[in-house]
Amino acid sequence: MKNFEFYNPTRIIFGEGTIARLRDQIPQDATVLLCYGGGSIKNNGVYDQVLTTLSSWEMIEFGGIEANPDYDTLMKAILLGREKGVDFILAVGGGSVIDGAKLVAAGIPYTAGEVWDIVTQDVKVILGEALPLGTVLTLPATGTEMNGNSVISRRATEEKLAWVSEAAFPVFSILDPTTTYTLPAKQVRNGIVDAYVHVMEQYATYPVDARIQDRQAEGILLTLQEIGEKALEVPPDYDTRANFMWAATNALNKLICQGVPEDWATHDIGHELTAFYGLDHAETLAVVMPHLLWHQREKKADKLVQYAQRVWGLTGEGEPLIREALDNMIDFFNRIGMPTKLTDYQIDPDQAAARIQARFASRGSRMGEHKAITSDLVAEILRMSR
């Protein structure tokens, strides 16, 4: 196992009826900027619950943070926050709202330069420099409710970049599984696949005898496989949604990655597919990961065999065993309604390969746990997605 230092300061308040706990989590004298998305929280009663709970707090609202939150939108929130003297950020929604609110929390006090420099990581935000952020999560998927990551899109330049900071951890996150009851099937499917791929990015590398991390990762994968189809059922089942929500948080709260190598090439490539073609985040992951793992099967052989045996209960050996496990993954994604080929979206794999290869080549990007996936290999992987 590699050396590691684990830090996670986010308080999780989990379960039905916990939105009322906002009252003891936000200082009474705070001026709160309430950030939300396109209106789902107004249709499902979450907005009303938040406003009723915080009726005696000074609240400024900023709605309209879009899926794949846009830098220009967030700059409007930052200017509003500065103007109103906001000192606490409350994000209510899915990953996009929370990721966007993280930039708002860091951007309001940052006046020394362009806020975009935070996203490119030319400027590092350190602990204590961002405003405190609390969240009410309504879409299990990204893990952003319990991590220090934020992914920001800039449509004007077709960019989508992730920034990471200890200052971006929420101080608390409220996870009430009943808030997920209004999710469309597509978003449930997206959440399951995103969480599944998060685990694989931290697991399907090479062994370092990290038994706790491996078994925790396998436990999350098995849970997602078990509940995947049930999570899509209507009416929703509370325990299924609770397990889904907690699985997604654990998939990316930075516990299973401690002391082990990580890949993240599927995410790096996926972000480009969203930037260029507008696919949902999870859709991009499903059209890349099965092909990337097969392409990298020699370097990842030991962990892929372990995946086949422990997560799918398969016997056999070598490449046929790995192929069978990856076919099972594809079958699982397809069963919950998630396509696994670029051609399923009428995207030409050759064109996508050329565009994304050029971008990675210009950045000199090298990806994967060995930093061995060059822009040329990314193109090979994308051409397999047909």
Residues that bind Zn ion (CB under 5 A): 194
Nearest partner of 173 among 6, 62, 18, judged by Cα = 18
Q: What is the DSSP string of 235-274?
A: SPPHHHHHHHHHHHHHHTSSSTTTTS----HHHHHHHHHH
**For the window 116-155, what string marks contact with ligand NZQ as x by the rule CB under 6 A?**
----------------------xx-xxxx--x-xxx----
CA distances from 112 to 86, 109, 116, 118, 346 (A): 18, 9, 12, 11, 44
- Binding residue (CB under 6 A) for ligand NZQ from 68, 135, 223, 296: 68
Distance in Å, CB of 249 to Zn ion, minimum: 13
- Binding residue (CB under 6 A) for ligand NZQ from 31, 182, 258, 374: 182
Contact call for residue 37 and ligand NZQ (CB under 6 A): yes
Nearer to ligand NZQ, 180 or 340 (CB): 180
Distance in Å, CB of 116 to ligand NZQ, minimum: 16
Block residue for tokens 């609202």? 61
Pairwise CA distance, residues 177 & 183, whole Å = 11
- Burial classification of residue 106, based on how many CB atoms lie within 10 Å of its CB (0-12 exposed, 13-18 middle, 19 or more buried): buried
- Bridge partners for 283 per DSSP: none
Nearer to ligand NZQ, 266 or 357 (CB): 266
Torsion (CA) 252, 244, 176, 60 in degrees, nearest 10: 50
Contact call for residue 369 and ligand NZQ (CB under 6 A): no
Contact call for residue 254 and ligand NZQ (CB under 6 A): no
Block residue for tokens 């998927």? 141
Among ligand NZQ, Zn ion, none, partner that 296 touches (CB below 5 to 8 angstroms by kind): none
Pairwise CA distance, residues 91 & 110, whole Å = 19
- Binding residue (CB under 6 A) for ligand NZQ from 95, 170, 290, 349: 95
Q: Please report, as a single letter, which amino acid is at residue 328.
A: N
Contact call for residue 225 and ligand NZQ (CB under 6 A): no
Among ligand NZQ, Zn ion, none, partner that 141 touches (CB below 5 to 8 angstroms by kind): ligand NZQ
Nearer to ligand NZQ, 9 or 39 (CB): 39
Of the candidate spans 31-39, 80-88, 304-312, 374-382, the one that interacts with ligand NZQ by CB under 6 A turns out to be 31-39
Block residue for tokens 């990842």? 300
Distance in Å, CB of 77 to ligand NZQ, minimum: 14
Contact call for residue 243 and ligand NZQ (CB under 6 A): no
Nearer to Zn ion, 65 or 321 (CB): 65
Report yes or no: 251 and 158 within 8 Å, Cβ to Cβ.
no
Contact call for residue 281 and ligand NZQ (CB under 6 A): yes
- Binding residue (CB under 6 A) for ligand NZQ from 108, 183, 217, 353: 183
| Secondary-structure percent of the chain, ordered helix, strand, coil, rounded to 5 | 55, 10, 35
Contact call for residue 32 and ligand NZQ (CB under 6 A): no
Contact call for residue 165 and ligand NZQ (CB under 6 A): no
Return the beta strands (E) in the chain as ranges: 11-14, 31-35, 58-62, 88-93, 133-137, 149-154, 159-164, 172-175
- Burial classification of residue 19, based on how many CB atoms lie within 10 Å of its CB (0-12 exposed, 13-18 middle, 19 or more buried): buried
Binding stretches for ligand NZQ (CB under 6 A): 37-41, 44, 67-68, 93-97, 99, 138-139, 141-144, 147, 149-151, 179-180, 182-183, 187, 190, 194, 252, 267, 281
